[in-house]
Amino acid sequence: MFADKMILRIPGPTPIPPRVQQAMNQPMIGHRSGQFSDLFASTAERLRPYFGTSGDVFILAGSGTSALEMSVVNTLQPGEEAAVLVSGAFGERFAKICERYGIVVHRLEVPWGEAVTAEKLATFLADKPSVQAVFATYCETSTGVQNPIRELAQVVREKSDALFIVDAVSCLGAVACEMDEWGVDIVVTGSQKAFMLPTGLAFLAASKRAWEVIDRKKPLAFYLDLKAYRKSFADKTTPYTPAVSLVFGLAEVCNMLEEEGLPAIIKRHELMRDMTRAAMRALNIPLMAQDEFAAATVTSCHPQDAFDPEQLRKVLKNHHNIVIAGGQQHLKGKIFRIGHMGYCEPLDVLQVVAAIELSLRQIGAPAELGAGVKAAQEVLLTHV
């Protein structure tokens, strides 16, 4: 076994392509130089198709959570009301950020493993006329659920005057996102998921409607002042020190994404999702999300009492150098999650499924060797 050959199949951070690693190893340049400004401006513009916007995409040095917080502190004031759609750990994070700033939070909670539907949201908003922003999670990483953002955006538009703000950290760049067409006001994401970079960059795009609100508000934070980013963006830079090496890498990521094309990227992720789900079913491992709302980037499995997910994860890591994720909060020790996004392709899915089969046998769980692989292969054959 090669100790340096650890294979990440978690929902972030994800593996980094060698050509992106090489791009990040370029010699450092001045972050206020013309060379960097040109790179920064052109790279930011190349991000627009993945958001589905004609507007600017802002890049800041920080994790995805920094962009979540940025979306809160620039659109709301203490005492104002927000609705937060909570279908897992990261919806709950949005609610906690709002509460930290004194915002009145109305939680629309659904059981973990379920999606927030348009019907539920319409009913929820009916008696909340003072809500000024609705926060949603596109892909709920903790459960493998992909919420129907397009339909939810339509409800927000029809039932309220609120902004619709979406956390797309664990799926943007792998799924369809048409924020302008759908009527989404703010979309945020991070670098370490489908964008195939290390943690350290966050991205945010805002609609004209969102900017009308932002311009009326006093930002509740200094570093996360979106108006400061807009002012610097006009000069092709950032208000504070950017992560230069990560932007080098981001430019190379854009090259890779453009070479494959967004429609093909979306199809690849849907294929990997379908392969993974078929394999788990063939191994009689229950899935958390319904097919209709299954995330394209992560699959969450709930073996219940059939075997210990933590034992499975331990054997996968120690014997096969493959890392998958466990559960979070009340699901810790009860589920396992397989990431299939970014620098990942269908044959990688076959690899992790084969290793799961072996590991199940090693921990004494019932598993027919080859059953999951065969099921995944059959799905793959329909696409080749």
Inter-residue contact 140 to 307 (CB < 8 Å): no
The reply to whether CATH 3.20.20.140 applies to domain 18-258 is: no
Instruction: Return the pLDDT at 146.
Output: 98
| Mean per-residue pLDDT, 154-169 | 98
Query: Is a pLDDT exceeding 90 seen at residue 2?
Result: no
273 is in an annotated binding site: no
pLDDT computed for residue 4 by the predictor: 81
For residue 1, pLDDT over 80 is answered with: no
What pLDDT is attached to residue 339?
98
345 vs 384, higher pLDDT = 345
CA neighbor of 72 nearest in space, from 190, 167, 161: 167
Q: pLDDT tier at 334 (50, 70, 90 boundaries)?
A: very high
Q: For the segment 229-273, what is each residue's pLDDT rounded down to a tens digit?
A: 999 999 999 999 999 999 999 999 999 999 999 999 999 999 999
Return the H-helix or E-strand segment holding 377.
helix 371-381
As a whole number, mean pLDDT of residues 146-152 equals 98
Is the pLDDT score of 74 beyond 90? Answer: yes
User: What is the pTM (predicted TM-score) of this model?
Assistant: 0.97
Q: Give the C-alpha separation, 15 to 272, whole Å.
A: 16
DSSP string, 138-202: SEETTTTEE--HHHHHHHHHHH-S-EEEEE-TTTBTTB---HHHHT--EEEEESSSTT---S-EE
- pLDDT band at residue 204 using 50, 70 and 90 as cut-offs: very high
Q: Backbone phi, then psi, for 134, in 5-degree steps? A: -115, 125
> What letter does residue 106 receive in the DSSP assignment?
E
Report the pLDDT value the prediction gives residue 384, as an integer from 0 to 100: 78
Would you call 322 helix, strand, or coil by DSSP?
strand
Name the pLDDT band for 165 (thresholds 50, 70, 90).
Answer: very high
| pLDDT surpasses 90 at 207 | yes
Report d(CA 283, CA 372) in Å as an integer. 6
83-133 pLDDT tens trace: 999 999 999 999 999 999 999 999 999 999 999 999 999 999 999 999 999
pLDDT above 80 for 3? no
What pLDDT was estimated at residue 6?
A: 92
What is the chain's mean pLDDT, rounded? 97
Percent of the chain predicted with pLDDT > 70: 100
| Phi, psi for 305 (deg, rounded to 5) | -100, 10
Is 136 in contact with 91 (CB distance < 8 Å)? yes
pLDDT, average across residues 19-45: 98
**Side chain identity, residue 12:** G
Question: What confidence score (pLDDT) does residue 305 get?
Answer: 86
As beta bridge partners, residue 324 has 9
Upper half-sphere CA count for residue 231 (Cβ side, 13 Å) = 8
Residue boundaries of the structural domains of the chain: 7-13+261-381, 18-258
- The side-by-side arrangement of strands in the sheet containing 298-301 is 7-9, 322-326, 336-339, 298-301
Please give the class, per CATH, of domain 7-13+261-381: alpha beta
pLDDT band at 350 (very low <50, low <70, confident <90, very high): very high
At residue 5, the pLDDT reads 86
